[in-house]
Structure 1
Amino acid sequence: MKRRDFTKKSSMAIGAGLTTTFMGFNINKNVKEEATIIGHGDYKYKVIKDWGNLDSTKTPVLNCHEMVMDSKGRLIMVTDEVKNNIIIYDKSGKLLNSWGTWFPGGHGLTLSKEGEEDFLFIADCGWFLGKDNGWHKQAGRILKMTTDGKLIFNIGHPSTIGVYEKDEPFMPTEVAVAPNGDFYVADGYGSDYILQYSADGEFIRRFGGNKEGQKEEKLSNAHGVAVDTRDPQNPVLICTSRNENSFKYFTLDGKFIKTVELPGLYVCRPVIDDNNIYAGVCWSKTREGKGWVKDTGFVTVMEGDKVVSNPGGTAPEYVGGKLQPMYQDSPIFNHGHDVCVDEDKNLYVCQWNASKSYPIKLERV
């Protein structure tokens, strides 16, 4: 039986037992929560909410910001909880290891494969929870580390090399690594520039920002960045402009290419797997279009530049080739922040501002 046929029959079988509707989301009170199915088309998932739950007295989290899978198949996550900034799971959700007490603004996590060895780029955005239980900010930094916590190098405020003025904020949120080893830093909570460095950490250029250049080249909340190698002969850079509900594409030397509009979606970083882009949606707008709303996150899935599924959100709809606004449809997520994809196309969703909850697994059906 083909996978697609199996998916359709499985969906029909599950759907036959769904009897209660809540906010447009079907739930059978006699069916365990793990049987909840979300998503659209060929991208449907079973929700496993307790997949990554740990003992919070021993391995706590504040915000589960981002996750990557290393060459050993381990799932590595960054949190801004300084008792254990890095948490390492196996794919069953079992805790393998934890380390790190050095980045109170732990936000971005990117895997760099260099030969036979994996490295981590960690973006400390500078936001941190103080002893007064209030949120404070300071200048951020980028750290390159081994997967067991050894520091390779540390990059601080760009003003130290004359790239920023001293009073320009630098609060980086993400790193992306190019095939030649150059890496790109998204200053998503600072000045919205994308900063390009060589593999050794030497500054090359900056672009984007929220002040200079044409409007199409500007970024507003440049929250994420990814190197897109789906066309190996023509790699490009995808940058999040979250306040504009869009991804913007640039050449690797910073020249603007195009904008992909995602109406209603305040998306985080683009995660590329095969021909797909996956992204956490932190918020969606009200149906009246009056700005973002708390606790309205979900996940979006794209084939190329087209949205094909919104697990936890409304089905994507194109009218005359134009994508219509999308909204949360099911109260599964608070604020989707990142998506990690395994080899079976299961998703692991990290959340921001979700009552210190652990990651949720979406099992592909």
Structure 2
Amino acid sequence: MARVGTGDYQYELIENWAKLPAGETFGNTSAVATDSQNRVYVFQRKNPPIMVFDADGTFINSWGNGAFASPHGIFIENDIVYLTDRDDSVCLVYTLDGRPIQIIGQRGQHSDTGAETPGQVVPRSAGPFNYPTEMVPSPSGDLYISDGYRNARVHQYTDAGQLIRSWGEPGKTEPNQFHLPHSLVVDDQGLIYLCDRENNRMQVFSADGQFLTIWPDLRRPLDISIGQDGLFYISEGGVDGLSPRVSIMDKQGHVVARWDALSAHGSWVDAEGDLYMALGARERVDKYVRLK
């Protein structure tokens, strides 16, 4: 197995980590997350959309057949599953065993941003939603949603699903300008860290959406999660001939460890410090096991 990383953050790579049932193959593996028992939930773009494995890659169960038009983001906290259905422009909350709890948005109803082609700079920002990418909870209980492929906004909701505020405008250079906000996470202080994907940067905001800073040293950041060590684990897609990679960064945006890797559309750090990489169109999940 290949070994990567530096210092205290070294890993062994397990390719094709998941052991699928006989006759099963993955579709596009869009995202991945773990629960409190370190079970691994893979969100894929085929039925069944949620595949559940133990930490060794053994298949446990699956759920969600027919419930999603286009699986995109997954986040798990306190054993609640937060999901985004990109093409249907809805965000959904589920139990670990696949029981729906909440839906935010109206299926198939897209806000008026003037966008037609997903991923391009949108003509204008608008309200929720137009191809949202990820929903995450915060310590306050509020929900934050990146929106996304045909919008340029972050939306803040109450846990009951009431919109509090939105921010962000289309653009390539200034703070609070977004080109495909693709993933986000909220730290224990309530600060929001946003993958401004096509602008090759992270933007950091206060809980009420006030711009704080930019981390510029990134290559199309795709997904971000926070480890129990308080560090940020970011999968990057690569840009302008530069390789995709994984970056581990502290709260000031300083690099703790970094290595070249395959492009992972979704990524996650678990309670043990191991990393899971959902490799999208490669239709597989890899695992980096941290060397203790």
The match for 1:100 among 64, 76, 98 is 64
Residue correspondences, number: 275
CA contact (8 A) 1:73 1:91 kept: yes
Deviations 1:278-322 (A, max 9, x none): 0111223325xxxxxxxx4331111331112223x2xxxxxxxxx
2:145 aligned partner: 185
1:49 aligned partner: 15
CA contact (8 A) 1:226 1:269 kept: no
Q: CA deviation at 1:202?
A: 0.8
Partner Cα distance (1:109, 1:75) in 2: 11
Partner Cα distance (2:191, 2:22) in 1: 40
Deviations 1:46-65 (A, max 9, x none): 1111321424733x322212
Superposed, 1:25-40 pairs within 5 Å as: 34=1, 36-40=2-6
What's the C-alpha RMSD, in Å, of the aligned pairs?
Answer: 2.4
Partner Cα distance (1:94, 1:159) in 2: 35
CA contact (8 A) 2:134 2:182 kept: yes
Deviations 1:90-121 (A, max 9, x none): 011000111112113111001132xxxx2111
Greater percentage in strand: 2
1:147 aligned partner: 96
Structure 1: state its 5+ residue gaps. Answer: 1-33, 127-138, 288-295, 314-331
Q: TM-score, normalising length from structure 1?
A: 0.70
Deviations 1:229-279 (A, max 9, x none): 1xxxx421111111111110111111111111124x111122111231101
Instruction: Pick the structure with greater CA Rg.
Output: 1
Deviations 1:17-72 (A, max 9, x none): xxxxxxxxxxxxxxxxx2x11223332211111321424733x3222122221122
1:349 aligned partner: 277
CA contact (8 A) 2:113 2:150 kept: no
The match for 1:75 among 40, 48, 57 is 40
Specify the code of the residue in structure 1 equivalent to 2:174. Answer: K
Greater percentage in helix: 1
Q: CA deviation at 1:191?
A: 0.6
Specify the code of the residue in structure 2 equivalent to 1:42. Answer: D
**Matched residue of 1:283: which SS?**
coil
1:6 aligned partner: none
2:257 aligned partner: 309
The match for 2:178 among 202, 219, 235 is 219
Superposed, 1:182-331 pairs within 5 Å as: 182-210=142-170, 215-229=174-188, 234-263=189-218, 265-273=219-227, 274-286=229-241, 296-304=243-251, 305-311=253-259, 313=260
Q: TM-score, normalising length from structure 2?
A: 0.86
CA contact (8 A) 1:78 1:106 kept: yes
* Cα distance change, pair 158–186 in 1 and its aligned pair in 2 (3 A): farther
